[in-house]
Each structure stands twice: as structure tokens, then as C-alpha cells.
Structure 1
Amino acid sequence: MSFNPLSAILKEHKLEGHNYIVWKQNLDIVLTAEEYKYVLTTECPPEPAANASATVKETYRKWCKANEMAKCCMLASMSTVLQHQHQGMNTATEIMNNLNNHFGTQNRAAKSLAFRSIMTKVMKEGTSVRDHVLEMMSHLNQIEILGGIIDPESQVTIILQSLPSSYQQFKLNFEMNKRAYTLAELLTELQPAEDLMVQTKAAMMSSRSSSSGSKPGKGKKKAQNVVAPKIAKGKKKRVNTNKKQSGKCFKCGEKGH
């Protein structure tokens, strides 16, 4: 195995049993970086015949070497007791299956939690779509590490469903185009859509602000025109009750009342 600083992760966090989930996640990182992870998901090719082509022989040799290196990574990062139990096994897959049988309860609980997290996660309006998608991708990767299988098309669908209503037009365009996005391509397409929505919202706010700034002046003039006649009309109707009546009283004939 070539020197890789990531391998120090396994050395510092050896598998004891109770830490199986964390150990498995760290192992996935190291095997991916070293390009050995594929031996956990592919069977060993048949041993080539003496007259087999160079390509067939190289494929077999490469798989056997990757398998041995993956086994070394796994055994070197276990407690002494676990090493003794697994060192006689022929493939890295055999070791992983046995570990899963021993500590699978932890694995199933973590997988269930990861599934719940990704199915209930909803992006909040106004937050970063990039951060949201990266978080969703992290949950999907964790599910894969724990042995869960979600096909690429379903992964994209799950992320689209977690977007808020402001991305409805993007979702409609996606359905109409019937394009097969990878998660990376989906993120690349979502970011310009987010920028466009932010610009559109800013333009609408600016337009509303300009419109509201011109209306108060007109309203004030109308109020003055309406109120003034009412005040004048009210003054005409006011009667001075202290003024003495002129002329003679039609009853008693006296003046002044």
C-alpha cells in the first residue's frame, strides 16, 4: 500500500466492536483513496489459463493485489482479538461479511437513521441550495457505506423533492426534459437557478420600493382637497345662540326675545 496520510485514520481508530460504524466509514475513505474498494463489490475473476491474453491476466493480477491490500488495511486496523479471528479468510468481502454478522445491529440502526434523515429533510426558503444538496449527498453516501442501495435516478428524485416551492419551475423543466442527471450535474444546474431567483426577487423589491415612494404625495393632496370643504361647510352651519332675536314677539308684542 502506498503511503497515504488517510491510512492514519484507521490506525488511530482501530476496530474494537462498539465503534464498528465509525471504523467502517473510515475504511471506506481509505479504500476509495487507494482504489481498492471495488474488491468489496466485485467477485474475483477466474484464474486465467496459461494461454490467456495479457489483458485477462492483468485483470486477475490487479484484482488479487487489490484484495490483499484491502485485507491488510482491514486487519491492521483491528484489535488483536479480531485480527486472530479474521486473518485466515481469503477475501476482504469475506472479512466484511463476518464483521457485519457480528456488529450488524449497529449497522442497521445507523442505516435506518440515515434513511429517516434523508426522507424528512426539507430545504428552507432563502437558504443555500449548494449547502443543502451537499448535506443530502453526505446522507446518501453514508447510506451506501452502511450497505443501503439507492439507485442514481432515485437519489436525484429524493433531492428534488426536498427543494422548496420556489424551485417548482425547475422541477417542471426537469420532468419535461427527461434528462438523466448525476448528483454533481444536478448541483451545477441548481446553482444558476438559485442566482436567477435571487436577482428576480431583488428586482421586484426595487420596483415595489420605487412605486411606494411616489404614492404618498398624491394621497396627501387628495386628503387636503377633501377635508377643506367639509370644514368650511361646518362653519356655515354653526349658529350663534348668544345673539338676541330682533323684532317683536308674536305672543307678547315685546322686542328682544
Structure 2
Amino acid sequence: MASFNPLARILEDNKLSGPNYVDWKRNLTIVLRAAKVYYVLTTVAPKVPDDNATNEEKGKYNKWLEDDDMAKCYILASMTNVLQHQHQGLPTATDMMANIKEMFGEQNRTARFITMKSLVSTKMVEGTPVREHMLKMMGFLNELDVLGAFFDAESQIDIILASLPQPFDTFVLNYNMNKLEVTLSELLNMLQSAEDLLKRNRKSAFVVEGNVPKAPKSKGKGNKKKGMGSKKHTPKVVKNKGGFKKKKSQGNDGCFHCGKTGHWKRNCRSYLESLKKGKPSEGIQGN
């Protein structure tokens, strides 16, 4: 009886009244599992053994009857008096739960939909501890199990792996390639180890990147000297103001108009004829 009192206290504090159906079912499931009689709700009742049945078959049947009676007691003890009178005549615990679900199942359906939506929409935020995310996802899965939504072990793992952020892509790839099969608790430990490795890799990358020497900034393009620069120095060409080139004379007595020797400009026929015609001289100025 010592082990019964704590369980009875849970049921006493959470009696089924109608609107609290979802919470009541959750607490009842905890109690039935703690008492190791929850299996009578999930397994088919054994057949009544005949006269030719073995002692082992008779023992299994009697054990199931005892556990089913225990489960019915827990269920009835967790109800209000009115609900107790409505269910105490039902033959098995499974029949009781089916009738209760028919009465308050709409709440169960709504709660299951909300929990399912939360499960599939929850994504781990990069940088948050993976342990917190895993416990949150496991809580959703347990809630759905209580509400009657069944996921096999492989599907539960797939849902959790799909909710992980990009840094865990390598972990997910290795998990699927190696075709691992683990429990949720084992997956939690594996993800924590992967998280520690990611943190060490990020820290190492930061240290290496911080020690890379920076290249000196150049103050200009090339080391050109001031003054000459890259352009060639071109001397200026000085032109005569008259706009013509000087013709080299062939002596001191050469004509500066026509360039011929033997006379000066003032005696040059060509020069004199140009003066008569009023044309400016095109020869070399001088003489």
C-alpha cells in the first residue's frame, strides 16, 4: 500500500470532471505506467483458457485479469462520483476508456491537433542548446502518445532530425548513411557530443583566423619618384614667330631672301619685284 499512496494522491488532485479530460488522461497514464498495468489498455485481452490449457496459459490469463481490475480501480478513483456510477459496471478498463473518450473525445482531438502542429513546426534555433530542443520535442511526442497519436521509433527520430539547423547537416547525413537505430535518450547524448564538436571547431577556426598576419597597406601605386615620373621628358620645340623655317645660308654674303650667293637681300631681284607688286617678303629676314 505504500506504493499506492503517491499514485492515489496524483489521481485525487486531478479527478476527471469533463473540461479537464486531456490533463486527466495524461496523469492517469503516468499512474497506470508506474503501476505497470498500462499494457491492459494497449493489448488484446487473452482468451479464456479451456480445460486443456497449460498452467502457464492459465497464469497469464489470471495475471491479466488482476492487472485489468487494478487499472479499473485507478480509473474509477480518478473520477467524480457521477462519472463513477456511469462506468463502474463496464467489464474492462478498455471499455471504460472508450466510453470516456466518446464523452469527452472532442477535447482530445483538439489537443492532439494543437500538439501535432507544435511538433512539426518547431525548429531548433541555431545557437540554442540542443538538449533543450530535444527535451521539448520529446515532450511533444509523449503528449501525442497520451492523446492517442502513434509514431514508431524511426518516425520519431526522423521528426527530430528534420528539426535541426544547418550546422547539424553532417551529423544527420552520417546518421542516415550508417543506418543507425537508437532511442531518443541515446540520440540526445549523440547530439550533445556533436554540439560540443561543433563548438570546438568554431573556436579553432576563430583562433586561426585571428592569427593571420595582415598585409601592409600600400600608400600608392608603385614607388615612383617625384619629378620625372613614368612619363618621358620631352623638350619644348620653339618655333619662330614668323612661322617659317630658316634656310641655312652658304656664306656670309648670301642673300637672306632667296638664299643664293653673290648678292645681298637689298640687291635681290626677286625681293625687289615683290616690293613692286606689293607682296610681303617670304624670304629670310635680315640683310
Identify whether the pair has TM-score above 0.5, normalized to the shorter chain.
Answer: yes
After superposition, residues 60-79 of structure 1 pair within 5 angstroms as 60-79=61-80
2:108 aligned partner, one-letter code: N
Q: Which residue of 2 aligns with 1:190?
A: 191
CA deviations 1:49-101 (Å, max 9, x no partner) are 34432321221111111111110011011011000000000111100000000
How far the C-alpha of 1:188 sits from its partner, in A, is 2.2
Q: Which residue of 1 aligns with 2:240?
A: none
Q: Which residue of 1 aligns with 2:155?
A: 154
The TM-score, its normalising length taken from structure 1, stands at 0.82
Q: Which residue of 1 aligns with 2:202?
A: 201
Q: Which residue of 1 aligns with 2:216?
A: 219
More helix by share: 1
Distance 2:199 2:11 in 1: 44
How far the C-alpha of 1:127 sits from its partner, in A, is 1.0
1:160 aligned partner, one-letter code: L
Distance 1:55 1:203 in 2: 63
Q: Between the two structures, name the one with larger relative contact order (CA 8 Å, sep ≥ 6).
A: 1
Q: Which residue of 2 aligns with 1:167?
A: 168
Distance 1:190 1:180 in 2: 14
1:45 aligned partner, one-letter code: P
Superposed CA RMSD: 2.2
Distance 1:183 1:83 in 2: 38
Q: Which residue of 2 aligns with 1:89?
A: 90
Distance 2:60 2:31 in 1: 22
SS where residue 219 of structure 1 aligns? coil
SS where residue 216 of structure 2 aligns? helix
How far the C-alpha of 1:26 sits from its partner, in A, is 0.3
1:30 aligned partner, one-letter code: V
In structure 2, stretches of 5+ residues that fail to align are 228-287
Q: Which runs of 4+ in 1 moved over 6 A?
A: none
Distance 2:56 2:5 in 1: 28
Structure with bigger gyration radius? 2
The TM-score, its normalising length taken from structure 2, stands at 0.74
* Percent identity between the two aligned chains: 48
CA deviations 1:103-136 (Å, max 9, x no partner) are 0110000000011000000001111111111111
Distance 1:4 1:76 in 2: 12
SS where residue 149 of structure 1 aligns? coil
SS where residue 171 of structure 1 aligns? helix
Q: Which residue of 1 aligns with 2:118?
A: 117
Distance 1:61 1:202 in 2: 62
